[in-house]
Amino acid sequence: MHLKNSWPLPSSPKPIVIIGAGGIVNDAHMPAYLKANFNVIGLYDIDQKKVLHTAKKWHLKSYTSLDELISNAEVNKAVFDIATPPSAIKGILKKIPIGSTVLIQKPMGEDFKDAKAIRAICRRRKLTAAINFQLRFSPMMIIVQDCIEKKVIGDITDLEVHLNLLTPWELFPFLKNMSRVEIAVHSIHYFDLIRSFLGNPKGVWAQTLGHPSSKEFAQTRTTAILNYGPDIRCSLSINHNYSKGPNFQSAQIRIDGIESAAMIKLGLLLDYPKGEPDEVWIFPKVGTDWKKIDFEGGWFPEAFIGTMSNLQRFASGEDKNLYTSVEDAYHTMSLVESCYISSKKGDTALAR
């Protein structure tokens, strides 16, 4: 059976301007756009040193102000690609011209209140805006989504995200000042992905906590259970502080259905941002064995081609749905908020 593993490109790609010239732009946005032959015309960052460095590395025009970037974007009818920390998003969106097309790095603001404000700005300014929840657009997840749509997996009964690895948090210094870290910045990808497969859960139980070895970061570990009713078990077990070497590391998502099952290895996370290959395995049916699916690429950078392609194709009428629109991403932010509320509320005391 042929399975889809990439998102179609826009037939007439628009030029792109990038706001923010930090780690993720260098590690994923630019490699993806180069690979897809997207035309990035220039970028801006409040830190001029970073702008100059990144512009030189990728042979781009550097702007000295947001206003300069915006006027260039207007002349070229460019798409805006925001890749700043979440605290900067609202201020930037307020300046972006009414009716523009915008991709915004996740998370959609610092918390749910911020997400509401971002959604209101996007509505008020009539922006065609999506959040860069790109895991859904990785080759692995497009394969799994295709399996689900072709009824290979059948009704999903069990979905588990399991991480046990060492994440180099020092690559993200801005996280040190944030009160919400692990779920808001990392596991948010899994919550968004789970929503893409199962929709919104009825509720959640969660605990998110730090670790003695990474005291500068508010939380680095999470356990969560999502309530999808009596037929589906859905859980996340996330430990970013496993420091005992490569043995017994894991970064897996298992989706088990009535007919079949899928297992995804998130190789990227095992040696971030260089990464090991991502993998997808399908268990076709009882009586057979697990089969490794061949595909090219992985989460980084191919998934970043997908979010930009879906946005541009939606803006031009080629795609019917904008899958990670701010309207949809708002629900992922709501789920994240519920996890923090649950974690704060605490446990059920032992019965006496």
Ligand X SMILES: NC(=O)c1ccc[n+]([C@@H]2O[C@H](COP(=O)([O-])OP(=O)(O)OC[C@H]3O[C@@H](n4cnc5c(N)ncnc54)[C@H](O)[C@@H]3O)[C@@H](O)[C@H]2O)c1
- Residue closer to ligand X, measured from CB, 3 or 30: 30
Residue nearest to ligand X (CB): 22
Among 5, 14, 38, 50, binds ligand X (CB under 6 A): 50
Q: CB of 272: closest distance to ligand X in angstroms?
A: 9
Amino acid at 313: R
Q: CB of 71: closest distance to ligand X in angstroms?
A: 16
- Residue closer to ligand X, measured from CB, 44 or 340: 44
Between β-strands 16-19 and 79-82, what pairing exists: parallel, antiparallel or unpaired? Answer: parallel
Q: Restricting to residues 176-205, which ones interact with ligand X according to CB under 6 A? A: 185
Which residues, in sequence order, are CB contacts of 288 under 8 Å at separation 6+? none
Q: How far apart are CA 161 and CA 224, in angstroms?
A: 10
Q: At what angle do helices 302-315 and 139-149 cross, to 10 degrees?
A: 60
Among 47, 155, 170, 216, binds ligand X (CB under 6 A): 47
Q: How far apart are CA 106 and CA 333, in angstroms?
A: 10
At residue 43, the 3 state secondary structure works out as strand
Q: Restricting to residues 144-173, which ones interact with ligand X according to CB under 6 A? A: 172
- Residue closer to ligand X, measured from CB, 153 or 194: 194
Specify the length of the chain in residues.
Answer: 352
- Residue closer to ligand X, measured from CB, 190 or 314: 190
- Residue closer to ligand X, measured from CB, 228 or 340: 340
Segment interacting with ligand X, rule: CB under 6 A, options 38-46, 137-145, 197-205, 286-294: 38-46
- By rule CB under 6 A, what count of residues binds ligand X? 26
Q: How far apart are CA 78 and CA 103, in angstroms?
A: 11
Q: How far apart are CA 89 and CA 19, in angstroms?
A: 10
Q: How far apart are CA 44 and CA 67, in angstroms?
A: 10
Tell how far CA 197 is from the center of its chain.
14
Q: How far apart are CA 243 and CA 95, in angstroms?
A: 44
CB 257 within 8 A of CB 272: no
Query: Does residue 219 belong to the site contacting ligand X (CB under 6 A)?
Result: no
Which residues, in sequence order, are CB contacts of 106 under 8 Å at separation 6+? 131, 132, 133, 188, 189, 192, 329
- Residue closer to ligand X, measured from CB, 5 or 84: 84
- Residue closer to ligand X, measured from CB, 107 or 257: 107
Among 132, 239, 260, 312, binds ligand X (CB under 6 A): 132
Q: CB of 83: closest distance to ligand X in angstroms?
A: 5
- Residue closer to ligand X, measured from CB, 257 or 301: 301
Here's the x/- map for ligand X, 52-91, by CB under 6 A: it reads as -------------------------------xxxx-x--x
Q: Restricting to residues 11-30, which ones interact with ligand X according to CB under 6 A? A: 19-25
- Judged by the rule CB under 6 A, the positions of this chain that interact with ligand X are 19-25, 44-47, 50, 83-86, 88, 91-92, 105-106, 132, 134, 172, 174, 185
